[in-house]
Amino acid sequence: MTDNLRPLHPDDIQPTRPGRILGLDVGTRRIGIAVTDPLGITAQGLETLQRKNKRHDFQQLRLLIEQFEVTEIVVGLPLRMSGAEGTQAEKMQAFAEDLRKHFGLPVHLFDERLTSAEANRLLRETELSIEKRGKAVDRMAAILILQAWMERQRISDL
């Protein structure tokens, strides 16, 4: 055994408690929000945030980050169907950078193409009224973004 290698002592092992991941579907008027369960297996929708201004939005997000002990954030990246980035994608990149600076957490951008369409399709299959469906679509899109990102992470870990 070399001089700088020694057996691990139980005090050397710091228990790591994985934090939760916050998923955001950011629009101009609302932010759909989802969070992973404590084990990081599923995404659960939270109340949709009605946007007012950056200060208000970030205050509300801070409360969620603290409440759910969030350690990472996933933001939907609205690419064009061709995969090209447009104006909305640029806005989301700037928003993600603001989140990184403001909260000091890793922020991941994830392709959100078709999540709103899929959310609408899933909600049409329920017996929700059109009005309630409209309110739920942002939350459902956030769930789909976060769930898809988690699946991609699991695949890349294999």
Residue 3 lies in a domain: no
63 inside domain: yes
How far apart CA 16 and CA 148 sit, in angstroms, is 24
Each residue's pLDDT, cut to its tens digit, for the chain (158 residues) gives 444 555 544 444 444 446 899 999 999 999 999 999 999 899 999 999 999 999 999 999 999 999 999 999 999 999 887 778 889 999 999 999 999 999 999 999 998 876 767 776 777 777 777 667 666 888 989 999 999 999 888 877 76
CATH number at residue 71: 3.30.420.140
- Residue (of 42, 44, 19) closest to 33 by Cα position: 44
| 11 located within any domain | no
What range does the domain containing 152 cover? Answer: 18-157
Is residue 32 in some structural domain? Answer: yes
How many folded domains does the chain comprise? 1
